[in-house]
Structure 1
Amino acid sequence: MRTKWFKRGYGTLIVVFILLLMPKYSYNDPDTFWHIELGRYMIAHHTVLHHAIHTFYSDKLPYIPHEFGFQLLIAPLYQAFGWPGIYLLTAVCIFWLIMGLLRLGKVSRKELGLPEEHPLLLPFVLLITGWIYYNYFKGRPQMISSGMIVWFFVYMREFQLKTSLKNATVMILLSCAVANIHTGVWLVIAVFTGMAVLESLLEKKLNLRRAAVFILVWLSGLLNPAGAKSLLYIFTVTHNHFNMLINEWQPIQFNRIENLPILLLLLFFAVTLPFSLYKKPFRFFLMAGILYLGVTNFKQNLFMWLFIPYFAGVFFEVVPYFRSLSLRLGRGTLMFALAVGLSLNIVCIFTVPPAIDASAYPVKEMDYVLEHAAQGVRPRVLSSYGSSGYVMYRGGDVLCDGRQDPFITKASAGPMGWTAFERSMYGFSEYLPDIVKFDHPDFLIVKNDSSTRLYQEWVKAFGAPVFKGEYGSVFSL
């Protein structure tokens, strides 16, 4: 009877936790808009894009299709169900990630001969899932790739324990999947595989079977539309440090209050190390890699959140009371509770679909632009970097749609020698008249929080705005 009530109570708490991962906070990321538009275009034209679309440069700027798989997933979901359709994918990713993080902690304990289950593991996984959801699950590729990478790692560790065909097959398939859905993070899989190779060499376990599987994991990553170019995409976006202009790529400021959870995670990670490394070479390799990624920038800090269960799962052994606690929540009960919570969230989001934040994106402004643009022609609209993806999604041609690689090339250079990406980032300044003169947009959208002095100068240069909305002002050029 005690066990029965424990399961019911624990399951109810898990449902409540999932309900607290409110769907409305998984929307309104600027990248989602251009992901949808690229996916719609590829489906309509039955092609994989190798050039930027809907820009001031027509189809002349080359593009590395490093996220096309994700775009092909969310576009039909959006077309069929709108924003709630994208939450369907988000819900599946939450479920998959929680189960993966839990399994990650268990496989870590299994490697060291400890019982796989521990009562602190599930609450810990749920806690960090909450942070991951609210900071990274925004209708972007990492909500899929994070779970894929975790499960790849789980199967790789299982493969090192037992070289079964199942483990090898899943590793190879996941490597290929990541290379097609979110290629920019595939190098993490390549590095993990390299760590496993070194581990096998040091432990004198590198036989022909293991070597063949590791090589196939690497080679399977090449099975994507852009091949090695996609796999090395990170070196494209970091060229000339263009990526440092984007907040999530900048160094983490640990002294800021909003970064307190990241600081606490780093400190907890350090505390776990003396209890979880066990003089195992692979664990030292992983510790170094995760520490590097975890302190580099906000974007890559995600990996420390993803892999802390691997270290914490063993660290929990230092708490003596929980070693003898026999109450556990079964896998089936956990999956049922997660499914119930996510299903309720799905019902809520379909009942009350989310609205696009009109103060964060030019919603009414684009209504005006499209109403006054020539019929059948996409208007050329110059707007800020963060809103350009939305403008493109609504039907305008833009200077830069929110990506980097097509817009940091010499072919896109303009006034001051700035690329299209730089003009999009720096353009709303005293240089705006020069950029307008060079790029010839039909409409200009200026945010309401722009400098009063600059705004007055722009009014002198372009005339009075033809429309003012909640987001900003529209100038007809």
Structure 2
Amino acid sequence: MKKLQAPKFLYGLFVIAIILLMIPKFSYNDPDTFWHIELGQYMIDHGQILHHAIHTFYGDELPYVPHEFGFQLLVAPLYAAFGWPGVYILTAVCLFFLVLGLLRLGKVSRKELGLQQDHVLMLPFVLLITCWIYYNYFKGRPQMISSFMIVWFFVYLREYQMVAHKKYAAAMVALSIAIANFHAGVWLVIAVFTGMALLESLINKTLNWRKITVFVLVWLAGLLNPGGATSLLFILTVTKKNFNLLINEWQPIQFNSLENLPILLLLLFFACTLPFALQRKPFRFFLMLGILYLGVSNFKQNLFMWLFIPYFAAVFFDAIPYFRKPGVLVRQSTLRLWLTIGLLLNIAYIFTVPPVIDAKNYPVDEMNYIMQHTPEGTRPKVLARYGSSGYVMFRGGDILCDGRQDPFVTKDSLGVLGWTAFERSMYGFSEYLPEIVEYDHPDYVITGNGVSHKLFNEWAQKFGQPVYSGTYGSVFSLLKATE
């Protein structure tokens, strides 16, 4: 029997250990996850793709762009079958393909420049990047799926530019369709990458009718989604009147903040790699400009810099003297085995110790009280903050506004103070709350802790004392006032 080589054995343990450090319980607790599950289950139960908002104060009147319906139809049955561990199963699959995609991205970068594709630092670097992506972006949202799809689309695009195989072209078209149906809001990145490749081919005088046909098919394939062009241009909806800037992850990055130190270090490292990575290649220059723009825009779009740093860093590794020679390299099949072992151990852990929703961040106790005092089959109208409304809907309440945002920034939702439903949800828990309550007529109002005594007392004078106080906050009942 052949002896196991110690370096590769230790390398395998290292890979598994890093995967185990991506602790499963931190992957699910995001406000959007709750309404994604609810929308997916509604579509399954009713056999339809949603084009209108559900479970709101407006009934089914507000239009909704189904730009993430594919993710919702995937996550809902997993949750129904296994609970929160089911959501992690999807997370684990996405992590598996993301790690392999980031590694392949680095290899493609080196291949383009005629270098040996493997490098000893590549996999550790990719795992480090994946850890950051996991803890900051893998929260039971569509970007889990779109992240690895975008990376693999880019890989096939670069392979196609080197060798125009039909299999690469087919993969690009298929991924364009998939991204447009799972997370259409980021599909424009695919369109831009494709445009860069077309321009690159034009500059290099390699553009022909076959390439033009493939690139056009990639663009047209994105239209094959229920929302059509509206889904692909979803960014224009959420940025209207700068509504998106009211949400933290859309706001400009504060690079001088200590909590954003990893983002600052990434930006500086990105700058260090450019002299080695650009190599006077037009496409690399175009990509650098695009990634730099996205990387400094806001936290939400900063994800793209993390996804594409392996493409630039792959060449930079050769500048480190000690690691210029080939190091410990492993077969792809071996790496897939190690990743599978680590992720299966995480899955076993999450099924053994299922996560519990944080009652400090979400109105768990408060909704328990409300639903206990609500007749079965009835959905109470509950006014809650923007960040907790998705959970309220998930638990059985009708809400003013949730993370879908697009139905709630339209003129159809305009109300008191001239605010849209989104604005009332964001600004409402202030001195304006009584006016909003009088206009929207909720059955209950859930307020979070941390409110000033003065403001809380003003609310109590208008609504009466809270009928319940829990870990998250207080519940005011408006039912007595309307009886």
In structure 1, the residue matched to 2:481 is: none
In structure 2, the residue matched to 1:207 is: 208
SS of the residue corresponding to residue 51 of structure 2 reads coil
C-alpha distance in structure 1 between counterparts of 2:440 and 2:107, whole Å = 56
Matching of residue 260 in structure 1 with residue 247 in structure 2: no
C-alpha distance in structure 2 between counterparts of 1:471 and 1:194, whole Å = 48
C-alpha distance in structure 1 between counterparts of 2:107 and 2:381, whole Å = 54
In structure 2, the residue matched to 1:337 is: 338
Deviation of 1:2 (Å): 9.2
In structure 2, the residue matched to 1:49 is: 50
SS of the residue corresponding to residue 5 of structure 2 reads helix
C-alpha distance in structure 2 between counterparts of 1:228 and 1:10, whole Å = 46
Deviation of 1:284 (Å): 0.3
The answer as to whether partners of 2:384 and 2:447 remain within 8 angstroms in 1 is yes
What letter matches 1:327 in structure 2?
Answer: V
SS of the residue corresponding to residue 473 of structure 1 reads strand
Deviation of 1:13 (Å): 1.0
In structure 2, the residue matched to 1:460 is: 461
Matches within 5 A, 1:304-315: 304-315=305-316
Matches within 5 A, 1:119-158: 119-158=120-159
In structure 2, the residue matched to 1:25 is: 26
What letter matches 1:6 in structure 2?
Answer: P
Matches within 5 A, 1:268-307: 268-307=269-308
After TM superposition, the score normalised by the length of structure 2 is 0.98
The answer as to whether partners of 1:3 and 1:327 remain within 8 angstroms in 2 is no
In structure 2, the residue matched to 1:440 is: 441
In structure 2, the residue matched to 1:248 is: 249
Deviation of 1:402 (Å): 1.8
The answer as to whether partners of 1:145 and 1:182 remain within 8 angstroms in 2 is yes
In structure 2, the residue matched to 1:224 is: 225
In structure 2, the residue matched to 1:68 is: 69
The answer as to whether partners of 1:148 and 1:174 remain within 8 angstroms in 2 is yes
The answer as to whether partners of 1:391 and 1:398 remain within 8 angstroms in 2 is yes
The answer as to whether partners of 2:119 and 2:327 remain within 8 angstroms in 1 is no
Matching of residue 94 in structure 1 with residue 90 in structure 2: no
What letter matches 1:431 in structure 2?
Answer: Y
C-alpha distance in structure 2 between counterparts of 1:91 and 1:253, whole Å = 31
My pick for the range that moved more, 325-334 or 466-475, is: 325-334
Matches within 5 A, 1:112-123: 112-123=113-124
In structure 2, the residue matched to 1:15 is: 16
The answer as to whether partners of 2:118 and 2:326 remain within 8 angstroms in 1 is no
C-alpha distance in structure 1 between counterparts of 2:362 and 2:45, whole Å = 26
Deviation of 1:3 (Å): 7.4
RMSD: 1.0
C-alpha distance in structure 2 between counterparts of 1:337 and 1:104, whole Å = 19
Matching of residue 371 in structure 1 with residue 372 in structure 2: yes
C-alpha distance in structure 1 between counterparts of 2:379 and 2:407, whole Å = 20
Shift of the 282–3 alpha-carbon distance from structure 1 to 2, 3 Å rule, reads farther
C-alpha distance in structure 2 between counterparts of 1:270 and 1:302, whole Å = 16
The answer as to whether partners of 1:407 and 1:419 remain within 8 angstroms in 2 is yes
Post-superposition Cα deviations, 1:197-231, rounded to whole Å, max 9, x if no partner, equal 00000001111110000000000000000100000
The answer as to whether partners of 1:383 and 1:424 remain within 8 angstroms in 2 is yes
Deviation of 1:359 (Å): 1.0
Deviation of 1:323 (Å): 2.2
C-alpha distance in structure 1 between counterparts of 2:468 and 2:316, whole Å = 60
Post-superposition Cα deviations, 1:24-61, rounded to whole Å, max 9, x if no partner, equal 11121000000000000000000000000000000110
Q: Which runs of 5+ in 1 are unaligned?
A: none
The answer as to whether partners of 1:66 and 1:184 remain within 8 angstroms in 2 is yes
Deviation of 1:330 (Å): 2.1
SS of the residue corresponding to residue 206 of structure 1 reads coil
C-alpha distance in structure 1 between counterparts of 2:29 and 2:460, whole Å = 30
C-alpha distance in structure 1 between counterparts of 2:328 and 2:17, whole Å = 20
Shift of the 3–278 alpha-carbon distance from structure 1 to 2, 3 Å rule, reads farther
Post-superposition Cα deviations, 1:280-311, rounded to whole Å, max 9, x if no partner, equal 00000000000000000000000000000000
Deviation of 1:450 (Å): 1.5
C-alpha distance in structure 1 between counterparts of 2:131 and 2:458, whole Å = 46
C-alpha distance in structure 1 between counterparts of 2:115 and 2:305, whole Å = 23
C-alpha distance in structure 2 between counterparts of 1:265 and 1:111, whole Å = 23
The answer as to whether partners of 1:7 and 1:333 remain within 8 angstroms in 2 is no
In structure 2, the residue matched to 1:236 is: 237
The answer as to whether partners of 1:380 and 1:397 remain within 8 angstroms in 2 is yes
Deviation of 1:128 (Å): 0.6
C-alpha distance in structure 1 between counterparts of 2:123 and 2:278, whole Å = 21
Sequence identity, in percent? 70
What letter matches 1:184 in structure 2?
Answer: G
C-alpha distance in structure 1 between counterparts of 2:369 and 2:215, whole Å = 55
Deviation of 1:377 (Å): 1.5
What letter matches 2:446 in structure 1?
Answer: I
Deviation of 1:321 (Å): 2.4
C-alpha distance in structure 1 between counterparts of 2:304 and 2:237, whole Å = 21
The answer as to whether partners of 2:37 and 2:75 remain within 8 angstroms in 1 is yes
Post-superposition Cα deviations, 1:444-471, rounded to whole Å, max 9, x if no partner, equal 1111111211100000000011111111
Deviation of 1:326 (Å): 3.9
What letter matches 2:401 in structure 1?
Answer: C
C-alpha distance in structure 1 between counterparts of 2:376 and 2:109, whole Å = 61
After TM superposition, the score normalised by the length of structure 1 is 0.99
In structure 2, the residue matched to 1:173 is: 174
C-alpha distance in structure 1 between counterparts of 2:271 and 2:327, whole Å = 29
C-alpha distance in structure 1 between counterparts of 2:328 and 2:389, whole Å = 52
C-alpha distance in structure 2 between counterparts of 1:297 and 1:56, whole Å = 31
In structure 2, the residue matched to 1:352 is: 353
C-alpha distance in structure 2 between counterparts of 1:448 and 1:284, whole Å = 49
The answer as to whether partners of 1:251 and 1:297 remain within 8 angstroms in 2 is yes
The answer as to whether partners of 2:27 and 2:140 remain within 8 angstroms in 1 is yes
C-alpha distance in structure 2 between counterparts of 1:272 and 1:339, whole Å = 31
Deviation of 1:375 (Å): 3.1
SS of the residue corresponding to residue 475 of structure 1 reads strand
C-alpha distance in structure 2 between counterparts of 1:118 and 1:320, whole Å = 13
C-alpha distance in structure 2 between counterparts of 1:57 and 1:167, whole Å = 46
The answer as to whether partners of 1:365 and 1:472 remain within 8 angstroms in 2 is yes
SS of the residue corresponding to residue 474 of structure 2 reads strand
C-alpha distance in structure 2 between counterparts of 1:164 and 1:27, whole Å = 39
* Equivalent residues, number: 477
